[in-house]
């Protein structure tokens, strides 16, 4: 039976992959002039564990990197995750 940590990490990896794919799709749709992926969707995926995939999508695809309001919300999701993981790890280590 998988541990709780391995399940959480697996979910993060899966959500990150989905997030990266949606960044790529949004970049494609932006160039093609079609309907875009809502920014709210991209932010929610980042919040639910897909922030590494969002970061990869931003850097590799050069997408959503110059829009300051988007970047502010994105980095807030990263800070939230850092805080939650910090609490999780400190409590798990008995500190």
What is residue 95's predicted lDDT score, i.e. its pLDDT? 52
pLDDT of residue 47: 94
Kindly report, residue by residue over 10-47, the tens digit of the pLDDT.
999 999 999 999 999 999 999 999 999 999 999 999 99
Count of CB atoms situated within 10 Å of the CB of 72: 9
Structure tokens of 31?
């160039």
pLDDT for res 52: 96
Q: Which tens digit of pLDDT belongs to each residue from 52-95?
A: 999 999 999 999 999 999 999 999 999 999 999 889 888 876 55
What was the pLDDT predicted at 94?
Answer: 58
Measured between its terminal Cα atoms, the distance across the chain in Å is 27
- Report the largest interatomic distance among the alpha carbons of the chain, rounded to a whole angstrom: 53
Which residues fall within 8 angstroms of residue 43, CB to CB, at 6 or more apart? 70, 73, 74, 77
Task: State phi, psi for 66 to the nearest 5 degrees.
Answer: -105, 0
- At 6 the pLDDT is 87
């Amino acid at each position: 039976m998988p541990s709780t940590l391995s399940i959480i990490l697996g979910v993060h990896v899966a959500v990150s992959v989905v997030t990266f794919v949606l960044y790529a799709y949004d970049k494609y749709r932006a160039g093609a002039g079609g309907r875009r992926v809502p920014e709210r969707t991209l932010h929610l995926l980042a919040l639910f564990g897909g922030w590494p995939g969002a970061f990869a999508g931003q850097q590799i695809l050069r997408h959503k990197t110059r829009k300051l309001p988007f970047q502010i919300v994105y980095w807030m999701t990263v800070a939230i995750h850092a805080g939650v993981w910090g609490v999780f790890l400190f409590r798990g280590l008995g500190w």
